[in-house]
Each structure stands twice: as structure tokens, then as C-alpha cells.
Amino acid sequence: MTKEQIQARIEEIGVVPGVRLSSADEAVFAAEAVCSAGIPIVEVTMTVPGAIDVIVHLIKSNPGLIVGAGTVFDTETVRRCLGAGVQFLTSTGLDLEIVELAFKENVLVFPGVLTPTEVHLASKAGCRLVKVFPCSQMGGAGYIRVLKAPFPNMSMIAAGGVTQQNASDFIRSGAAAIGVGHDLIPQKAIDLRESDWIRELARRFVTIVKEARAHMI
């Protein structure tokens, strides 16, 4: 898939699961549970022990899964992720060196941004998709609405504090997608290896996004 097709797929599904767990086995379990429930996208954060090996395994074992790397802080990590075959890169903050390298390698990148200045800089660098983080702590869905006003052509993923209770608000405020972590992948479900629990949450988030979009038409 091209980076344009990957972005389109992310925006179509509308949910980007963030896998930030304490072991490689847990990360693989969570990613495969989410994928089996109809979200063929996963962001494996670099905080996961053995994250690169997890990415390699997921790509080889799940050909329909779009695997990305998150919490990427430097270009050396980017190169390792690219060598593992990641299909997108995302960071907690705006690092223009990472953006430049991703563009050079023709890989989708959506950097973390928070302020209008950062959205503007990401746009000038060529980004058409950004991750607004942390959303909830900055006023929630209303903050996305405010940011979208001067940047109507920038697609935004709302991340940080997204729950079942506020996910619909983020979508209706203009977010192209939501980034969800522990509210989609609870640690207790991981501890108990309750894949059905995670699958049910995944289906709920997908439904919330679809219903929110339907109300916008």
C-alpha cells in the first residue's frame, strides 16, 4: 500500500489502537485481538520491550494488518523501524528531522502536535495528517474544533484520554480518527488473556465512530 492508501485506510476505520504494554508477548496478543475484531491497524510504541521484534512478527504473521511505530524520538529509531517494515510512523511531539526522513523514505508519518504553531510547522513540512496529543487535557473535543477552524485541510487524529464516553464528541468535532490506548486494551484484559474483552471494546469504538459520522451527514 502507498502512504496515501494507508492514510485513507486509517481515516476510513477511524480508530488507531495504541499498544503500550510491558512485554512483547502482551503486545502481540493485544494487536492480534484488536485486528480480529475489525481494526486492521496497530501502533506499537517504542516503549514496548522488544518493540522492533514485535513489529516484525506482526507484519509476517498478519498480512492484512497495518503496523506502525509510535513514540519514536530519533532518526536512528526511525531507521530501525523502517528496516522492520513499518507502514507508518508517529511521534509524541513534532520532530521535523523524523518527518523529513519519513518523507525521504516515502513512509506515512503523522507527528504529534499540540499548538497551532506546531500544526502550522507540520503543514509546512508537508504533513497532511497529525496526531493531536494530549487532547483531553487541553479541553477535549472542543480543542479539536478550535484547531480545525484555521486548518480545515489538515486531518487530525485525537489522542490522549479518548474513551467510549468522549470518542463520539471528538469525531463530531472534526477528528479524522481517534487514537485509543488502555480504554481499548485494558491491562486487566491482557493479564487474563481475555481476547473477547478486547474484541468487544474494539467493536464498540468502531461503532461509535460510524454512528458519530452518520450524525454529521
Residue % of the chain over a pLDDT of 70: 100
Instruction: Please state the pTM of the whole predicted model.
Output: 0.96
Q: What is the pLDDT of residue 141?
A: 96
pLDDT tens-digit series, residues 74-88:
999 999 999 999 999
pLDDT for residue 143 = 97
Radius of gyration, CA atoms only, the chain: 16
Q: Catalogue the E-assigned strands of the chain.
A: 15-19, 41-45, 66-70, 88-90, 108-110, 112-113, 129-132, 155-159, 177-180
pLDDT at residue 57 tops 80 = yes
CB neighbours (10 Å) of residue 1? Answer: 11
| Spatial CB neighbours of 194, under 8 Å, sequence gap ≥ 6 | 188
Give the domains, in start order, of the chain with CATH numbers.
3-214 (3.20.20.70)
pLDDT digits (tens, 9 = 90+) for 17-53: 999 999 999 999 999 999 999 999 999 999 999 999 9
Of all residues in the chain, the percent with pLDDT exceeding 90 is 96
Identify the pLDDT of residue 15: 98
Residue 216 reports pLDDT greater than 90 = no
Q: What is the DSSP letter of 85?
A: T
For the stretch 173-212, pLDDT in tens is 999 999 999 999 999 999 999 999 999 999 999 999 999 9
Task: Return mean pLDDT, the chain.
Answer: 96
